[in-house]
Copies of this chain bind each other. A is one copy, B any other.
Amino acid sequence: MNQYCFGIDIGGTAVKCGLFDVKGNLLDKWEIETRTENSGVHILPDIADEIQAKILEKRLNKEEIAGIGVGVPGPVNEEGIVLCAVNLHWGVTRLEDELKDLTGFPVKVGNDANLAALGELWKGGGTGYHNVVMVTLGTGVGGGIIINGRIVSGTNGAGGEIGHIRVADDIDGICNCGNKGCLEQVASATGIVKLANDLLKNTDKPSILRESEVSAKSVFDAVKAGDMLAIEVAEKFGRYLGSTLATIACVADPEIFVIGGGVSKAGTVLIDYIEKYYREYAFNSCRDSVFALAKLGNDAGVYGAAKLILL
């Protein structure tokens, strides 16, 4: 009995769905389109339909379903209320109640970056640890903090919003959040491209980066090829992110930092630059914290969502 649960990760364009057994084996995964029209009213009914269909397809008994965990791209408070989700066109949403009414199953909801952290802790780069800070380096910089196996959601759903830590006063432009000098402006994929383009513009140094359009991937490929200008970009990135993680260690003091998101596909070279500056800036007793790459890729969110049901 109670042998299965669903992990659902709602993104702006697709809803990722996973069927798990309670040991954390991903038995089936699939995606549906996220229909954001009409203030996103279709999203939860669509998910309910998918779950009912999967139960029929797999000939599961309803009694065997422990529940549905759901990740959303927006702040979720400690009472499980989604405060908003811009990309889904949602305002305040009582997702747990609504999806329970639609399906009859217990529902738990969390912020997607926090659930990615929980997923990595459970079955990915953080397995075996119970205090983890996960950093997701993608279009933006997301974060998720788990202390004693529990997500730090924060009073306003801003627990682990590390992309919006101010790291410098001299950064051009405004962050998506409206502030200036956020970590996200220098350590996201977009930020790395900006660091590189600024350097390309302001010097005449030769670089293979001058030969085609710059991306976070091309920067770290160039680093691996020994390109000095790309290495300078990686040093800047590493100093911003490593020193910020040292700051976070003085607050949450995790056992391990797990680095994920698209940028982390660069591999261990990325960790090298972050770790170098982390060790330089960290408070003595946190200096030996472990760094690891995320392992679950785009599935981290569905793993974490499922785990939410099994906590």
A residues whose Cβ falls under 8 Å from a Cβ of B: 75, 78, 83, 131, 145, 147-148, 150, 152-166, 177-179, 243, 246-255, 281, 283-286, 289
Interface centre among A160, A178, A247 (most CB of B within 10 A): A247
Q: A161-B253, A161-B283, A283-B177 are in contact. Are A247 and B155 (CB under 8 A)?
A: no
Q: A154-B131, A179-B281, A289-B155 are in contact. Are A251 and B252 (CB under 8 A)?
A: yes
Decide: B255 and A155 in contact? CB cutoff 8 A: yes
Which of B150, B156, B253 interacts with A253 by CB under 8 Å?
B156
Decide: B250 and A165 in contact? CB cutoff 8 A: yes
Q: A164-B283, A284-B177, A284-B178 are in contact. Are A155 and B246 (CB under 8 A)?
A: no
Considering only CB atoms, which chain B residue lies closest to A282 in the complex?
B179
Q: A147-B147, A154-B131, A285-B83 are in contact. Are A253 and B166 (CB under 8 A)?
A: no
Extra pairs beyond A75-B285, A160-B251, A179-B281 (14, CB < 8 Å): A78-B148, A131-B154, A147-B147, A153-B253, A154-B253, A155-B255, A155-B286, A155-B289, A156-B286, A157-B285, A158-B283, A161-B285, A165-B247, A166-B246
Considering only CB atoms, which chain B residue lies closest to A251 in the complex?
B251
**Interchain nearest-CB distance for A42 vs B (Å):** 27
Decide: B252 and A154 in contact? CB cutoff 8 A: yes
Decide: B283 and A145 in contact? CB cutoff 8 A: no
Decide: B283 and A250 in contact? CB cutoff 8 A: no
Which of B162, B284, B286 interacts with A251 by CB under 8 Å?
B162
Query: A-B pairs with the 4 shortest C-beta distances?
Result: A154-B253, A158-B253, A156-B285, A164-B283
Decide: A152 and B283 in contact? CB cutoff 8 A: no
- Residues of B close to A246: CB separation below 8 A: 166
Interface centre among A131, A161, A253 (most CB of B within 10 A): A253
- Residues of B close to A247: CB separation below 8 A: 165-166, 247
Decide: A152 and B156 in contact? CB cutoff 8 A: no
- Residues of B close to A252: CB separation below 8 A: 152, 154, 159, 251-252
